[in-house]
Chains A and B, each alone.
Chain A
């Protein structure tokens, strides 16, 4: 079973701790397969990238995985130009992510 997490708005130094807490709680609750739906995130700074990276490492250490979907143009650009697109599995839609992820 994949747990979908959907952060909203601008993810920067001020807001990334909230996203971090949510993901940490979900992992602590026993979830091991995470899908981060970024359709409602219009900006992500390096603070957001760090949180996602740390979360992915955490679930991987627990034999889980984490994938991303539905990036808005700016967020996709940040992932492409920073190299993060090489680290994460990124899908265009939630359906595709769930299909690939569960398959």
Chain B
């Protein structure tokens, strides 16, 4: 499509006598693509990338060119995120080039000179960062709106840099600065903020280096330090106009393969829609990554548990139907979920999670991996079909968890529907639904045909009462004030706790709704032996997070011989500043 072959020198379209050497990597957050340009009087390196072996190879190519003809080497960055520039700061060869000129947009230049860990995302990807001196602060003072020329020195050689805004058809303009590439052709630097304040696109002949512009709305990227929705929207519009003008034949992104102009325009149009949805996105930093990674682990643990139960219950029901010589219905059940594929996907996450714990993967990697896993599970999860067969709460809970994570890893908070609620009634409904079968006894008798009979039978068999060995004593409160909570989420977490108490070995559970702290609480208490907690640390963390998402707070403890969990919700009128959406 682009006519460019990776790691091969080819003529640069639109500029006579200049060759281009692309170093294109698979997409990740460790290192960017790099591009070398070989012009008669100078070599240009766009984004040295983040990996030593990548820089070794680029440096070797630069050495060959310098051996042929010594000249200045301009290293320019599309922005200062470390995956694009770590090797500029740390590679011995690139640091010792005799006539090196580092050109970075002004905001990025200041960040590099100060060693700003946030602006360079060094804090997020936990990498070392050395400050360096930048030779040319590109596009500084470019917002004056008129053209001018300045004399500068490039690697000891005087030359002219031109600063003139590029006027667009809609009356807007893009701040622009040029440096000489050859005697006739210029390198054009265009300020295209949004992904970061220092993001630029670089034009050389018909090639357009676009950095991370096309990733600016991606989960885990949108919301990074300096990310700016309004600036991004403006950049998308102006770059789209520029590309529509003609004269550019290939767009060279910071990650992934080169793209032609129509494909880039389509991507920008789709991005604009996404960018418009990103108001209120959370700031993506190390704390976010740490918190989201822990959330991902706990949530995936629960997703794995629920999927295992769902898939296992289908196996169980299919087996029972086989025993009853209902092979057709048994087979239908076996196809409801691709359990092996789910197994593979969850095992993949587990392995990744282990690597994270041993330090070979970072929190941000795990947070993004969980997003990928959650998307895959969501695509193969057939909630409606499963819901027609199994206990609806299991199916609904998986659906909600996957949706919550997808929202979280995109940088938002899950939707919470907090309303005034009678906690006694809400808790009572959960206890009742948990201990009553969800099927109609008459359905089997009244089935009108063989198929309806087989389905009613399957539904009957699919009902497993996990509380059959647990005596639940529920005491609703009297005249309790209403509380503010998300009733569906409260129902999910209370059911989760009932399951944990039951499968943890409790045979007697007292549940009471009563005043607690500054609000109203639902208190679950069960006798335990040897002070053993009925919930392990991870399950308790998951429960507390789920309670928080339902609008309350959660605490575990209890006197000797009793394990107690309290879910506390603010009484109406006394609530603190609640998240309401």
A-contact 0/1 string along B418-461, CB 8 Å cutoff: 00000000000000000000000000000000000000000001
Q: List 19 A-B contacts (CB under 8 A).
A: A12-B347, A13-B344, A14-B344, A14-B347, A45-B346, A46-B312, A46-B339, A47-B339, A47-B340, A50-B315, A76-B503, A77-B503, A78-B305, A81-B312, A81-B313, A82-B309, A82-B464, A83-B312, A83-B313
B466 in contact (CB, < 8 A):
yes
Asked if B502 and A13 sit within 8 Å, CB to CB, the answer is: no
Asked if A82 and B347 sit within 8 Å, CB to CB, the answer is: no
A87 in contact (CB, < 8 A):
yes
The 8 lowest CB-CB distance pairs between A and B, nearest first, are A82-B312, A13-B343, A46-B311, A77-B503, A83-B316, A83-B464, A46-B339, A81-B309
In the bound complex, what is the Cα–Cα distance between A44 and B309 (angstroms)? 10
In the bound complex, what is the Cα–Cα distance between A76 and B308 (angstroms)? 12
B499 in contact (CB, < 8 A):
yes
B54 in contact (CB, < 8 A):
no
In the bound complex, what is the Cα–Cα distance between A78 and B304 (angstroms)? 11
Asked if A45 and B317 sit within 8 Å, CB to CB, the answer is: no
- Known contacts A46-B339, A77-B305, A77-B503: does B312 contact A84 (CB below 8 Å)? yes
Asked if B319 and A46 sit within 8 Å, CB to CB, the answer is: no
Asked if A46 and B315 sit within 8 Å, CB to CB, the answer is: yes
Chain B residues within 8 Å of A49, by CB: 312, 315-316
Beyond known contacts A76-B503, A84-B312: 7 more, CB 8 A cutoff? A13-B339, A45-B311, A49-B315, A82-B315, A83-B312, A83-B317, A87-B316
Asked if B309 and A10 sit within 8 Å, CB to CB, the answer is: no
B350 in contact (CB, < 8 A):
yes
Asked if A73 and B316 sit within 8 Å, CB to CB, the answer is: no
Asked if B319 and A87 sit within 8 Å, CB to CB, the answer is: yes
**8 A Cβ contacts from A15-69 to B:** 43-47, 49-50, 53
Chain B residues within 8 Å of A46, by CB: 308, 311-312, 314-315, 339, 343
**Chain A interface residue count: which class?**
20 to 34
B504 in contact (CB, < 8 A):
yes
CB within 8 Å of A: which residues of B?
304-305, 308-309, 311-317, 319-320, 339-340, 342-344, 346-347, 350, 461-462, 464, 466, 499, 502-504, 536
In the bound complex, what is the Cα–Cα distance between A33 and B507 (angstroms)? 32
Could you say which of A12, A45, A47, A84 contacts B316, with CB atoms under 8 Å apart? A84
A96 in contact (CB, < 8 A):
no
In the bound complex, what is the Cα–Cα distance between A45 and B320 (angstroms)? 19
Chain B residues within 8 Å of A47, by CB: 339-340, 343
Asked if B313 and A82 sit within 8 Å, CB to CB, the answer is: yes
Closest approach, in angstroms, between the C-beta of A103 and any C-beta of chain B? 24
In the bound complex, what is the Cα–Cα distance between A29 and B499 (angstroms)? 41
Asked if A81 and B466 sit within 8 Å, CB to CB, the answer is: yes
Asked if A45 and B350 sit within 8 Å, CB to CB, the answer is: no
Asked if A81 and B344 sit within 8 Å, CB to CB, the answer is: no
A80 in contact (CB, < 8 A):
yes
In the bound complex, what is the Cα–Cα distance between A59 and B104 (angstroms)? 73
In the bound complex, what is the Cα–Cα distance between A10 and B317 (angstroms)? 24
B-contact 0/1 string along A80-100, CB 8 Å cutoff: 111110010000000000000
In the bound complex, what is the Cα–Cα distance between A13 and B346 (angstroms)? 10
Asked if B503 and A82 sit within 8 Å, CB to CB, the answer is: no
Closest approach, in angstroms, between the C-beta of A83 and any C-beta of chain B? 4
Closest approach, in angstroms, between the C-beta of A86 and any C-beta of chain B? 8
Nearest residue (CB) in B for A13 is B343
Asked if A82 and B344 sit within 8 Å, CB to CB, the answer is: no
Closest approach, in angstroms, between the C-beta of A43 and any C-beta of chain B? 8
Closest approach, in angstroms, between the C-beta of A82 and any C-beta of chain B? 3
Asked if A45 and B313 sit within 8 Å, CB to CB, the answer is: no
Chain A residues within 8 Å of B536, by CB: 73
In the bound complex, what is the Cα–Cα distance between A86 and B180 (angstroms)? 79
Asked if B504 and A73 sit within 8 Å, CB to CB, the answer is: yes
In the bound complex, what is the Cα–Cα distance between A74 and B504 (angstroms)? 9
- Known contacts A53-B319, A87-B319: does B466 contact A14 (CB below 8 Å)? no
Asked if B308 and A78 sit within 8 Å, CB to CB, the answer is: yes
Asked if B343 and A80 sit within 8 Å, CB to CB, the answer is: no
- Known contacts A46-B311, A80-B503, A81-B466: does B319 contact A13 (CB below 8 Å)? no
Closest approach, in angstroms, between the C-beta of B534 and any C-beta of chain A? 10
Nearest residue (CB) in A for B469 is A80
Closest approach, in angstroms, between the C-beta of B170 and any C-beta of chain A? 55
In the bound complex, what is the Cα–Cα distance between A29 and B370 (angstroms)? 44
Chain B residues within 8 Å of A80, by CB: 464, 466, 502-503
Closest approach, in angstroms, between the C-beta of A70 and any C-beta of chain B? 14
In the bound complex, what is the Cα–Cα distance between A81 and B309 (angstroms)? 6
Chain B residues within 8 Å of A12, by CB: 343, 346-347
